[in-house]
Structure 1
Amino acid sequence: MTTTEPRRAPNGFNLVPPPGWDVIPLHSGTAEAMDRIVRKAVAQLPVGFPKDDIPQARLKLAQEIKKVVRRASAKGGMTIYLPTERLHGVALPVSIVASEPIEVPRVRPNSGPEAVLAALASEIPGAEMRELDGTAALRSERDVLADAAQDVDVAHRQVEYFVPVPDSAPDKYLTFSFSALIAPGSDPAFYDTLVELFDAVMGTFRWSYA
Structure 2
Amino acid sequence: MTLPKPSTDRSAPDGYRLIIPPGWVRLPLRRGTEQALEDLVFSRLKQLPPEVSQDDGMKYRLTVRRTVTRQITEAQGAGGLDLYLPLTTRYGVALAASFVVSEHVVEESILPALEAFLAGPVPTRGRARTSTQELAGTRAVRREHVHPADPDHDVHVVTRRVEYALPVPNDERRMLSIVFSTPGDGDVSSAFTHAVTELFDATVTTFRWTRDGKDVLPGTPPSAQEHPHDD
Q: Residues 105 and 181 (structure 1 numbering): CA distance in 2 closer, same or farther, change over 3 Å?
A: farther
Q: Is 1:178 equivalent to 2:180 in the alignment?
A: yes
Q: Is 1:163 equivalent to 2:166 in the alignment?
A: yes
Counterpart of 1:85 (choices 66, 85, 88) is 88
The match for 2:29 is 26
Which one-letter code corresponds to 1:103 in the other structure?
V
Q: Residues 206 and 47 (structure 1 numbering): CA distance in 2 closer, same or farther, change over 3 Å?
A: closer
Residues of 1 paired with 2:100 and 2:89: CA distance?
20
Counterpart of 2:209 (choices 198, 201, 207) is 207
Shift of 1:90: 2.9
Shift of 1:34: 1.6
Shift of 1:131: 0.6
- TM-score of the superposed pair, with normalisation by structure 2: 0.74
1:85-110 C-alpha deviation (Å, 9 max, x unpaired): 1125432510010012332855xxxx
Preserved contact between residue 98 and residue 176 of structure 1 (Cα < 8 Å)? yes
Q: Residues 49 and 35 (structure 1 numbering): CA distance in 2 closer, same or farther, change over 3 Å?
A: same
Counterpart of 2:49 (choices 45, 55, 67) is 45
- TM-score of the superposed pair, with normalisation by structure 1: 0.80
Preserved contact between residue 104 and residue 173 of structure 1 (Cα < 8 Å)? no
The match for 1:136 is 139
* Runs of at least 4 residues off by over 6 Å: none
Please identify, of 24-33 and 95-104, the stretch whose mean Cα deviation from structure 2 is larger: 95-104
Preserved contact between residue 139 and residue 159 of structure 1 (Cα < 8 Å)? yes
Q: Residues 147 and 104 (structure 1 numbering): CA distance in 2 closer, same or farther, change over 3 Å?
A: farther
Percent sequence identity is: 35
Residues of 1 paired with 2:12 and 2:88: CA distance?
36
The match for 2:224 is none
The match for 1:196 is 198
5+ long unaligned stretches in structure 1: 1-5, 107-111
The match for 2:124 is none
* Count of residue pairs the alignment pairs up: 197
Residues of 1 paired with 2:27 and 2:193: CA distance?
23
C-alpha RMSD over aligned residues: 2.8
